[in-house]
Structure 1
Amino acid sequence: MHSADTLTNLQKFLTLLNPSLNLNEMLTNVARQLVEMFEVDHSGVLFFGERDVEGLVIAEYPHQGAVALKVPLTDYPLVEQLKTQRKPLQVLDAQNDPLMGSARPTMRLLGIQSIVIIPLVVQDKLVGSLSLDVVRQPRTFTPVELELCAIIGKQIAVAVDYTRALETAEAHRRQAQTLYEVNRVLSESLDPDEILPLILEQLHKVISADGSSIHLLGDGGVQIAAFRGAHQPIQMRQTVSLNNLWGTRTVIERKTPILLGDTRLHDQWKTFPGSPIRSWMGVPLSVRGEVVGILNIDGYTPHQFDETQINIAQAFASQAAIAIHNARLYRQAEKRAELLASVQEIGLSIAVSLDLKEVLRAVAAAVLTLLEACQTRIYLYDAQSDTFTLATTLDGADPAQIEVMQPRRDGLTARVARSGRYIAVPNVLEHPLYQSDAATHGFQAIIGAPLKKGDEVLGVLNVFYDQPHTFTSDELDLLHLLATQAAVALENARLYELEVKQVEQELNIARQIQQGFFPDQIPTLPGWEIAAICLPARETGGDFYEFVERTDATLGLVVGDVSGKSIQAAMLMAAAQSLVSAKGSDHRSPGKVMTETNRLLCKDVPLGSFVAVSYALFSANSGEVCLSNGGQLAPFLLPAQNEPILLIETPGNHLPLGIIADMVYDELSIFLAPGDSLIFCTDGLIERKDATGQLFGFERTLTVLETLRGQPPQVVLDTLLAAADTFANGIGPADDVTLVVARRVIKEKVL
């Protein structure tokens, strides 16, 4: 080969090393050019495996079916020479020369007589080789040709390295894009039943696997929570001990992924009958360092996965674990909201019902359902005689199979009543109170809750399970709420029975209940001074006020009036006050507080009853007050300066609560200047009468307020009450009088 031809051919050859092509396409073009340049019969490109055990033909020209052919590299002396000499080597008799070693059968198969092997060295590592194959007759290559081969080999190695880098970068870009899309898809669902199959669906878009599953860690082992593929050795939701799953146990203990190239070569891998799994990856699902489960990735052929895919699987598992954690939190919040709604409805039923049997049965039914128990019993307890009376029992089994016994004197019920404490028995067969089968009455777990008013035990609520049961903190909290509701029912019924004979005595008790719900003291809020009072009339009404202490530098104020004059009205007042306070803690918007309270009240408020409520939210220091009104008198705005006194009417509906369930209440925000006051009052003040029946009225109220600009709230309150008393001239109020005065102040700086 002449030097001019060499340069021409080399120039042509260099144009083939186009990094825009994929690696296989580029190397096929290189093989074709080598055949033409050196006038040989065939050229091939061989890449070595990770451990130089075998090589893989990735390109050839002309095509003879050698692509994807695996060539053993052990017992191949020529390869060892390539590693040390790093230059082209030729073999005249490729079929018989000992240098060809284990490659001689391949040479015979392809009919190759002579061969030149050109090393491909990338970053000082032998990664593969080029071959110039002569089939027709043996051939000796000249030193010039071998030198040209060396130059070509170096150029190809550079091109291979560059193209591989481009392909790796592109693969990383595609991987990042895929993981971003996976994260987007997974973030769209918070349903645990939906998110688990979705995770496996997205996994198969990232990693080419034959099967996959999610094992979630729980009591006693793991459960298959989701599965994808053709082989399912374990039933869904079946708990399997970690002792029977070496791979899962090891991943959870080490908190790191495990890759098995061939499961049949691992002595601790347990192969289930008919399992096609030959390669496996186990990746921990971790949230804040705690392993909650494992992602199993299955291949049905050996060595289907490599270290690169482990890195991808880890990145994917991190996103999957967060999605599972968020879905669990959402389910817990949803369940807790449902439980609290049920408890709230029971509380409302208790507040408006005095039928003890009906209320206790409602509590028992809620316990049975919400705690997923098999039976509940409520006993009334007489501490003086130390005796019990069964008030109600409910069960989920055939009533004929349930034997209700009088509590043993040394049993769980008696101990709960005497101690006033909860007693939980997760497994009766392991507890000293139950030493015989007869004592258990067929139950496996029991918890007893005292029904208490203060320190006095009024009864005992027992919950039974037909299997051993570990009581969670959420279950204990729920049971405490339900036991409190039952205790309230017992107390309400007892009060009712004691006072039912005398109307006056009933009204006195109602007044006591009413007063019991007033705040013991007025909370403080920076930037405000507040004074409040509720004066019951001779015959009990339903006025009340309440403060809702919040954690966001705001204070809620409830001023209300319940229709009617009885214990039922007082109970309705308590329910309304409790609901507004609860919703005031949940929501910042007064309009939403009023709307939600009205919806709940409408479920159980007796026909013809209602609650007039005004709700205000005071913000610390800023002077902002947000108001919503449902049937209550509009508050007075008393400016400190000589500006008109205003009645602050909120927009929208003003209908009292408990009448129309879907009523929506609006709200209005105002800002008070320093010294300005806001005065809330019920109709008992405005409708105070004198001996002639004339009303104290709005105009007299405004006249008195004109003299009180900038005055402290207590002064405003006392002056208004004194003015009404003077006007009435000894005639007592026919209705409750409630006054709440709030003045904006600015704390003076200390010099």
Structure 2
Amino acid sequence: LDYDTVLKKVTELTTHVLSSDNCWLEMINHSTRSSEIKSWQGLKKPSPEKKTDKDENGLSHWVVQNKYSILINSVSKDTRARALKSRERDLNSLLAVPLISKGDVIGILYAAKKTEFGFDNEDREMLQAFANQATMAIENANLLKESIERERLAQELKVAHDTQLKLLPKEMPRFNGLDIGGVCMTANEVGGDYYGFVSLDDSHLGILMGDVSGKGISAAFYMAELKGIAEAYGKIYRSPKELLMQINSVLYRNTDRQTFVSLIYAIFDLEKNQVIFSRAGHCPLLIVSGKTGKLQALQPPGIGLGLDEGPIFNRVLEERKLSLQMNDVFLFYTDGVTEARNPEGIEFGEARLKALLEKSSQKSAEEIRQDIVEQLVNFTSTAKRHDDLSILVVKKTG
């Protein structure tokens, strides 16, 4: 039997065995310090609001504190039952027994009758024995419920993981004059990292990298939507700013307000040897000059996609134009890189990433990518990764 069915069965059997007029099962949540009636028979108000443990004079509080049963044969004369009597005026005798697991009261089983002196100590002992058996049944049902939930979440993560891998490019594009290396390392909890390419013509290549807020199947779904929009509009709008404005307009209409996307989009123009890019709340674009070896982090204004309908987003967003010279190195990345933590909880950080990029800038794009990944793996060691991390290295070669 499932968890809810077991709870219902407990109150049904109690009502039948004790010939009670009313019965209810109140489950205790120690983490929130509250209780809630989960199953009932015959109550006038079968779904009362959650109660907190602030009512120190109430029945529930007494049972939880004493871990002992209550037998009341004249409800109107017992101050602990005052709140119950005001709500259920026709109840006059009451039994309340705790459900105890590992030393804690996890629930309270109540039985009540309209007549006074409706129960005796034999009823009390019988109900406590039944409650002990019910506790085991409830715990087993709860374990099954948790197991099913874990299995469902595992399946959802697998679907999200598979979806994410299908959306990412299977290989780096071969583009004359550019050397490209990239990777997306998915976390145990699948996030929404995405990168892709828009081949505009033989001398223009669009590169985008984004990070969808949230995790699991919903993040994968929005990532698929982002990919579709970017590919559809990428060849229409040759301005990064214009493209991001269009993507934002579509996403705002089709996502909930709790979801947003950070994104950076750059067009490499090998005809004019320039790069034009805009960023919507994404990580800075790191660039190492092939001429001087100096690194700069560019972070022009821009807010995340889907946060604003358009007026604020369009006004804040900027487009930058850079010259493109031989051996210039560009690094696109998501915050999973800089926020990766070691076992001591220390973040990898932007400073460490910048230093590594400067040191490796003479190498090929793929070698630079490998250096960054190797350093990240060594740094995080045995620490569990909670976010995806994505890296794209682009180097001007001709």
TM bin, normalised by shorter chain, reads 0.5 to 0.7
Provide the TM-score with structure 2 as the length reference: 0.60
- Alpha-carbon separation, structure 2, partners of 1:718 and 1:672: 24
What residue number does 1:514 align with?
A: 164
For 2:307, the equivalent position in structure 1 comes to 659
Structure 1 residues 537-564: Cα deviation after superposition (integer angstroms, max 9, x where no partner): 1110000101111136211111000011
Give the aligned CA root-mean-square deviation in angstroms: 1.9
Q: Are 2:382 and 1:730 equivalent residues in the alignment?
A: yes
Q: 1:622 to 1:528 in 2, by over 3 A?
A: farther
1:692 to 344, 347, 366: 344
Note if contact 2:257-2:306 (Cα within 8 Å) is conserved in structure 1.
no
Task: Give yes or no for contact 1:583–1:593 (8 Å, CA) kept in 2.
Answer: yes
Counterparts in 2 of 1:182-331, with a 5 A limit? none
Corresponding residue for residue 539 of structure 1: 189
Does the residue aligned with 1:658 lie in a helix, a strand or coil? Answer: coil
Deviation at 1:709, TM superposition (A): 2.2
Amino acid at match of 1:546: G
Shift of the 600–624 alpha-carbon distance from structure 1 to 2, 3 Å rule, reads same
SS at structure 2 position matched to 1:502: helix
| Corresponding position of 2:154 | 504
Counterpart in 1 of 2:255? 605
TM-score (norm 1): 0.32
What SS does the aligned partner of 1:674 have? coil
* Structure 2 counterpart SS, 1:707: helix
Give the direction of change, closer, same or farther, for the CA distance of 1:604–1:500 in structure 2 (3 Å limit): farther
- The SS at the match of 1:561 is strand
Say if 2:235 is the partner of 1:585.
Answer: yes
- Greater gyration radius: 1
The Cα of 1:517 is off from its aligned counterpart by 0.7
Q: What pairs up with 1:348-497 in 2 under 5 angstroms? A: none
Report the Cα distance in structure 1 between the residues aligned to 2:290 and 2:347, rounded to whole angstroms.
Answer: 27
Partner residue, 2:368:
716
Distance in 2 (alpha carbons) for counterparts of 1:736 and 1:585: 28
**For 1:658-679, what per-residue CA distance to the aligned partner results, in whole angstroms no more than 9, with x for missing partners?**
1101121321111122011000
Segments of 5+ residues of structure 1 without an aligned counterpart are: 1-498, 747-751
Distance 1:679 1:568 in 2: 28
Residue 564 in structure 1 maps to residue 214 in structure 2 = yes
How far residue 500 of structure 1 moved from its aligned partner, in angstroms, is 10
Which stretches in structure 2 are left out of the alignment for 5+ residues?
Answer: 1-148
Q: 1:596 aligns with which of 219, 227, 246?
A: 246
1:639 aligns with 2:289: yes
Deviation per CA, 1:301-351: give whole Å up to 9, x if none.
xxxxxxxxxxxxxxxxxxxxxxxxxxxxxxxxxxxxxxxxxxxxxxxxxxx
Distance in 2 between residues matched to 1:704 and 1:501, nearest whole Å: 40
Structure 2 counterpart of 1:741: 393
How many pairs does the alignment contain? 247
- Contact persistence 2:241–2:318 (CA under 8 A): yes
Q: Distance in 1 between matches of 2:157 and 2:319?
A: 35
| Contact 1:527 1:621 (8 Å CA) reproduced | no
Note closer, same or farther for the CA distance 1:726–1:500 as it changes in structure 2 (3 Å cut): closer
* Alpha-carbon offset, residue 575 of structure 1: 0.4
1:516 alignment partner, SS class? helix
Change (3 A) 1:713 1:606: same
1:501 CA drift (Å): 6.3
Which residue is 1:397 aligned to?
A: none
Counterpart CA distance in 2 for 1:635 and 1:505 is 35
The Cα shift of 1:734 comes to 1.8
In structure 2, C-alpha distance between the alignment counterparts of 1:704 and 1:553, rounded to whole Å: 30
CA distance in 2: counterparts of 1:673 and 1:553, whole angstroms:
15
Give the residue type in structure 2 aligned to 1:542.
G
Find the residue that maps to 1:627 and give its secondary structure: strand
> What code does the residue aligned with 1:672 have?
L
**Equivalences for residues 47-66 of structure 1 within 5 A:** none
Render the CA deviation track for 1:557-600: whole Å, top value 9, x for unaligned.
11000011121211111101211221111110000000010001
